[in-house]
Chain A
Amino acid sequence: MAPVLSAENLVKRFPGVVALKGVSFDLLPGEIHALCGENGAGKSTLIKTLSGIHPAGSYEGRIRVRGEVASFANSKDAERAGIGVIYQELALVPEMTVAENIFLGNEPRSFGWSIDWDRISRESQQLLDRFGLAIPTDAVVRDLGVGHRQLVEIAKALSKQTQVLILDEPTAALTEQEVEVLLDILRDLRQRGIALVYISHKLDEVFAIADRITVLRDGQSIVTLETAATTKNEVIRHMVGRPIENLFPRRPGKVGETRLVVENLTVTEGGHTRLEGISFEVRAGEVLGIGGLMGAGRSELLMHIFGAYGRRTGGRVLLDGRPLGPGQSPTESIRRGLVLVSEDRKRYGLVLDLSIGFNMALSSLEDVAVGPGSFGLIDDDRERRRNEEFFQSLRVKAPGLETPVGTLSGGNQQKVVLAKALMTRPAVIFLDEPTRGIDVGAKLEVYELMNRLTDAGQAVVLVSSELPELMGMSDRILMLAEGRSGGTFLRSEATQEKLLAAAMGGEPVTP
């Protein structure tokens, strides 16, 4: 059978980074083809190239649709060629109805100008019926759950004679039941001859649904495997590329005096109690891990202590023996020696249009300025020397300090955020998902950095949703369950089972 879509040796360069270094794969009609790879392996870039967001001419290599070389100038061209993409971030207009969204930008007209509303509601009803979706076509999208929105997206893509449907992490935000519904629908689409590219971190799903699996690593396609003839372990081995001996090189430091004390903390936001009765301590030279399921309040806890979230209705926080807050600003927290690296670096970490140097220095400008506070005069030479020092010690890969930070890869962006935090010379550092979306090499560098920090007597709080990372890099672990403490564990006694039980709100286990 001839492939409906194929990529031949795609190479895509960004300033300072080669995101794709030769990716080839083909997609047969009526198959589900999974793309697997670590974060930063090039999956998102590949999708954007296949769907015309990176236009023809901006990459090397060839894309063929049904054998013909395709050169998409934009995503509309790709749509016309029958390629539809459903992104991680959904692209529906929340204020519009299901039917309006399905035909948005593609409205059927009568007399060539007047939108044919009858046809819109009739055809969207037919689309939804075809998949047995019990969603009213006149429901407003904002009232739908994430699972249903996902299905509306699929219906929207299918309204355009789509023959290739690319799904980027479609189940990231779905419940188990919703995942089942989605997978059934995808199998149904396969029956109808539509070819699907399925991208997911969850190997269970991949093995449940995919016919073939292509593994990407460091911007290259490594291998394509028949699902029936492979194992999860083999896929993982290809993804990582080498048997990694020591994934988590934690080197416990010399534990010193207590730096941060949190006692019986209760926090409300928007009239709801989000955190209740949480207590913990962090000492110099120590990494405290904080885990929990989605929505357990991990990030909220860090953000609150830092001064950027919620209202404190009980308890207290001591930093180096003196009370911190309630209601202090992040500016004040940083001045006192507490700094936060947010889980969402694009939103809370970086001014993307501005340079690496600008971003690195932002939190500690007054340290390199002479004169009163915000109106002191910045000493350019001191600022640049300091920037260069961190640029080199954190091994940021970029043409120079003047490069806009938005053009860097995830790992390098994260290094810029870390540099910004470290320049404030903090006593306590909050790291919220510091390795999210960065590749294996950069992850190891972040872990090494954590070791250096604790060696230097700083205290680290690490929030992570990945249990292996949490168990591998923390000296002690606090599990949160729905805003409450689910138990504290020493590194030596933590097991995945115990931590999960604590995260589900099981019996608190005292160390």
Chain B
Amino acid sequence: MSEASSRSSINVRTLAMPAALLVIGLFFALKSPEFLSARNLSMLAIEVSITAVLALGMFLVILPGHIDLSAGSGVGLIGGLSAVLIFEYGWPAPVALLAGLVAAALIWLGMGTIIVRERVPAFIITLGGLLVFRGLHWLVIHNATIPVSRGGEANLYSLLTTYYLPPVAGWVLAAVIILLMAMAAWRRSRRPGADRERIFLQTFVVAQLIVLFVLVCNAYRGVPLPALILAAVTFTIFTITRQTPFGRYLYAIGGNEEAAVVSGVPVAKVSIGAFLIMGIIVAITGFLQTAYAGSSTTTVGTLMELDAVAACVIGGTSLKGGRGTVFGVLMGALIMAALLNGMTLLAVSPETKYVARGLVLGLAVWADVRLSRK
């Protein structure tokens, strides 16, 4: 294969997802002008952020060849736990959130340890987790509706999805991020053999998207907090997978576990580490999703694990492990969230929504398999 053809085949695949997104966006925009309104796009930003944060955690678990089916139930349980601590026990919101975070970290550390050390398939352990956490969630909230704050007043928990950055702060932040990106791009482009045109183009497009995003958000109430949380999580996960030995080890374990062992990769520690990080991400998602719903109910988090897996797979992550990118996962999450948001806007019935999401997942993966075979 010549270099030119290998590059162009990569282009087809990386452009396929933005193209699919564009088609989905256009379809909803034509069907309902409301889809492109600043208000709806701000809501969409919040919804994407929640889906994408969980998907990025799932990505870390799938890379070494595992899976986490308990994530959705975990989102409900941890969100509910912190809500109960605030609403029923009167804990200050920051303490309650920290307690939820620590609990999630410990639970996922435990699951990861069982899966990795005892060699029980992750599919089974987390399927068990799905049921156990769902039961515990309902038990904790005794099948009731538990608001995230007392007496409707704002606290750290409720602000997670209701706080918007003041417009000026949004612009300042955008400027800082673009400046940092430009500096990173400049460093990369000085390396021997760097494709300067490509680096410039990438940076330019992303910078434009950031400006557009702030512009749209400021037309409503400002940049929503979940978008900032997603940005932070994305930056962290990207750095982990691209720039640390830990991330490389995840790819190596997924690609060939036996070779990883003989190469001196601390396979058990790294795999358990991925579950630990997943626990923290489940907690963050739990707080966001529960805050977005306003209160913890029995349905919060339901089926979210499948959206997360779907986002990974649509984004080109291999379920066998060893293949996938953060960018792909983000695109996958965007596609899943845009689809759900658009259909809700069009008042599509829940039964049709399920069918449509399932079909999109199947079609996306089929297309990816076809494209990568060429």
Known interface pairs A351-B251, A351-B322, A353-B323; A376-B245 also in contact (CB < 8 Å): yes
B residues 1-23 with Cβ under 8 Å of A? Answer: 1, 3
Q: Does A468 contact B (CB under 8 A)?
A: no
Cβ–Cβ < 8 Å partners of A329 in chain B = 264, 266
Q: Does B248 contact A (CB under 8 A)?
A: yes
CA of A329 to CA of B249, assembled, Å: 16
Q: Does A223 contact B (CB under 8 A)?
A: no
Pick the residue among B248, B262, B264 that contacts A424 (CB under 8 A).
B264
* Highest count of chain A CB atoms <10 Å: which of B3, B259, B270, B273: B259
Cβ–Cβ < 8 Å partners of A342 in chain B = 262
| B270 & A374 in contact (Cβ 8 Å cutoff) | yes
Q: Does B261 contact A (CB under 8 A)?
A: yes
| A363 & B264 in contact (Cβ 8 Å cutoff) | yes
B residues 226-270 with Cβ under 8 Å of A? Answer: 239-240, 243-246, 248-249, 251-252, 255-256, 258-266, 269-270
Chain B 313-330 near chain A by CB (<8 Å), digits 1 or 0: 000000000110000000
| A363 & B263 in contact (Cβ 8 Å cutoff) | yes
Closest to A361 in B: B248
The smallest C-beta distance from B68 to any residue of chain A, in angstroms, reads 21
| A348 & B262 in contact (Cβ 8 Å cutoff) | yes
Known interface pairs A351-B322, A377-B239; A365-B256 also in contact (CB < 8 Å): no
Looking at chain A, what size class is its interface with the partner chain? Answer: 35 or more
| A362 & B262 in contact (Cβ 8 Å cutoff) | no
* Highest count of chain A CB atoms <10 Å: which of B244, B248, B259, B263: B263
Q: Does B373 contact A (CB under 8 A)?
A: no
Q: Does A358 contact B (CB under 8 A)?
A: yes
CA of A333 to CA of B266, assembled, Å: 12
| A362 & B265 in contact (Cβ 8 Å cutoff) | yes
Q: Does A128 contact B (CB under 8 A)?
A: no
Known interface pairs A347-B258, A362-B263; A376-B244 also in contact (CB < 8 Å): yes
| B259 & A331 in contact (Cβ 8 Å cutoff) | no
Closest to B251 in A: A354
Known interface pairs A15-B1, A347-B259, A353-B322; A331-B266 also in contact (CB < 8 Å): yes
Q: How many chain-B residues does the 8 Å CB contact rule pick out? A: 29
CA of A342 to CA of B261, assembled, Å: 12
Q: Does B191 contact A (CB under 8 A)?
A: yes
CA of A378 to CA of B246, assembled, Å: 10
Known interface pairs A348-B258, A350-B256, A351-B256; A399-B3 also in contact (CB < 8 Å): yes
A contacts with B: majority SS: helix
Q: Does A145 contact B (CB under 8 A)?
A: no
Chain A 359-385 near chain B by CB (<8 Å), digits 1 or 0: 001110110010001111110110000
The smallest C-beta distance from A100 to any residue of chain B, in angstroms, reads 28
| A420 & B244 in contact (Cβ 8 Å cutoff) | no
The smallest C-beta distance from B217 to any residue of chain A, in angstroms, reads 31
Q: Does A99 contact B (CB under 8 A)?
A: no
| B255 & A351 in contact (Cβ 8 Å cutoff) | yes
Q: Does A340 contact B (CB under 8 A)?
A: yes
Q: Does A287 contact B (CB under 8 A)?
A: no
Known interface pairs A351-B251, A352-B255, A353-B255; A365-B245 also in contact (CB < 8 Å): yes
Cβ–Cβ < 8 Å partners of B273 in chain A = 374
CA of A333 to CA of B261, assembled, Å: 11
B residues 303-358 with Cβ under 8 Å of A? Answer: 322-323
| A366 & B245 in contact (Cβ 8 Å cutoff) | yes
CA of A220 to CA of B239, assembled, Å: 48
Pick the residue among B248, B262, B266 that contacts A349 (CB under 8 A).
B262
Chain A 435-459 near chain B by CB (<8 Å), digits 1 or 0: 0000000000000000000000000
CA of A264 to CA of B232, assembled, Å: 56
* Highest count of chain B CB atoms <10 Å: which of A334, A354, A377, A424: A354
The smallest C-beta distance from A373 to any residue of chain B, in angstroms, reads 7
| B246 & A375 in contact (Cβ 8 Å cutoff) | yes
Known interface pairs A373-B245, A381-B191, A399-B3; A352-B256 also in contact (CB < 8 Å): yes
B residues 261-316 with Cβ under 8 Å of A? Answer: 261-266, 269-270, 273
CA of A15 to CA of B273, assembled, Å: 37
| B245 & A334 in contact (Cβ 8 Å cutoff) | no
Closest to A16 in B: B1
Pick the residue among B244, B259, B262, B323 that contacts A375 (CB under 8 A).
B244
Q: Does A330 contact B (CB under 8 A)?
A: yes
Closest to B262 in A: A348
The smallest C-beta distance from B239 to any residue of chain A, in angstroms, reads 7
| A331 & B264 in contact (Cβ 8 Å cutoff) | yes
Across the A-B interface, give the 4 residue pairs with the lowest CB-CB distance, nearest first: A351-B255, A334-B264, A365-B245, A374-B246
Interface of B with A (CB < 8 Å)? 1, 3, 191, 239-240, 243-246, 248-249, 251-252, 255-256, 258-266, 269-270, 273, 322-323
New A-B pairs, 19, CB < 8 Å, besides A358-B251, A363-B264: A329-B266, A333-B264, A335-B264, A347-B256, A348-B258, A350-B256, A351-B322, A352-B255, A353-B255, A354-B251, A354-B322, A363-B265, A369-B245, A374-B246, A374-B270, A377-B239, A377-B244, A378-B243, A381-B191
6 contacts between A and B (CB under 8 A): A330-B261, A348-B258, A351-B251, A351-B260, A366-B245, A374-B269
